[in-house]
């Protein structure tokens, strides 16, 4: 038996399964993570799933770990070398709003009542807020104001996801949406840092 199932000419990996499960989780919640439909979407058999995962619970855990990496680890790593906190925040806005499908998925994940999802959402939110508070503190904001700015930035991000989900006519590829993101980048910085 080979280690990876073949999808067309490409090997389907554990990460491919986790990405597909994450997409399903974001669109349909925990109930949307079902092996057979995911296997069809990936163009492989259920056997591929069992090569990579013991059970569905392990797949859900991998999908949530993938989300945490994409939502927190990757952006923090991408911004690690940016010394100027104002520039770091501007770039964070660009990174955060560049993947509208993640904005939509955030809504489903944030609303989930399942403990395994809620725990990851809480950890991701805490890590994001910590990153934001630190950047606002580096801009010279006192602790309470830094927390307010961080909460405003998070609420703006999550609210954009809700807007995209509730009003599908808001197209994230439109010039108007890109202008909105530029507006966020400007207004999510204290006036002294713009």
- Per-residue pLDDT of 88-122, as tens digits, reads 999 999 898 887 777 777 878 888 778 888 899 99
| Mean pLDDT lowest among 3-17, 31-45, 98-112, 171-185 | 3-17
Give CA angle at 127 (187, 161), nearest 5°: 50
81, exposed or middle or buried, with CB in 10 Å at 0-12, 13-18, 19+? Answer: exposed
In this prediction, residue 6 carries a pLDDT of 53
Q: Are residues 15 and 99 in the same domain?
A: no
Task: Verify that 53 and 89 share a domain, yes or no.
Answer: no
**Average pLDDT of 114-140?**
93
pTM for the predicted model, two decimal places = 0.84
pLDDT at 160: 86
Supply the range of the domain harboring residue 158.
Answer: 81-194
DSSP label at residue 189: S
Q: Tell me, yes or no, whether 76 lies in a domain.
A: no
Residue 2 has pLDDT above 70, yes or no: no
Same-domain pairing of 189 and 94: yes
Provide the number of structural domains found in the chain.
2
Q: Is 141 exposed, middle or buried (0-12, 13-18, 19+ CB in 10 A)?
A: buried
Q: What's the CATH code of the domain at 30? A: 1.10.10.60
Same domain, 94 and 177: yes
- 85 in the same domain as 178: yes
Predicted confidence band of residue 159 (pLDDT cuts 50, 70, 90): confident
**Inside any domain, residue 72:** no
Strand partners, 10: 7
Euclidean distance between CA atoms 10 and 144, whole angstroms: 50
């Amino acid at each position: 038996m080979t280690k990876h199932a073949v999808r067309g000419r490409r090997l389907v990996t554990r990460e491919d399964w986790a990405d597909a499960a994450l997409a399903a989780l974001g669109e349909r919640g925990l109930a949307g993570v079902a092996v057979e439909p995911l296997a069809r979407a990936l163009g492989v058999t259920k056997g591929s799933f069992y090569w990579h995962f013991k059970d569905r619970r392990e797949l859900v855990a991998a999908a949530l770990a993938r989300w945490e990496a994409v939502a927190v680890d990757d952006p923090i790593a991408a911004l690690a070398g940016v010394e100027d906190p104002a520039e770091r925040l501007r770039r964070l806005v660009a990174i955060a709003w560049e993947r509208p499908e993640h904005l939509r998925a955030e809504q489903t994940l944030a609303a989930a009542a399942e403990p395994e999802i809620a725990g990851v959402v809480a950890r991701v939110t805490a890590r994001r807020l910590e990153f934001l508070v630190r950047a606002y503190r580096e801009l010279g904001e006192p602790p309470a104001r830094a927390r307010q700015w961080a909460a405003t930035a998070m609420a703006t991000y999550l609210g954009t996801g809700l807007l995209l989900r509730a009003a599908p006519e808001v197209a994230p590829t439109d010039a108007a949406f890109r202008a909105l993101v530029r507006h966020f980048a400007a207004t999510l910085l204290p006036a002294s840092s713009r």
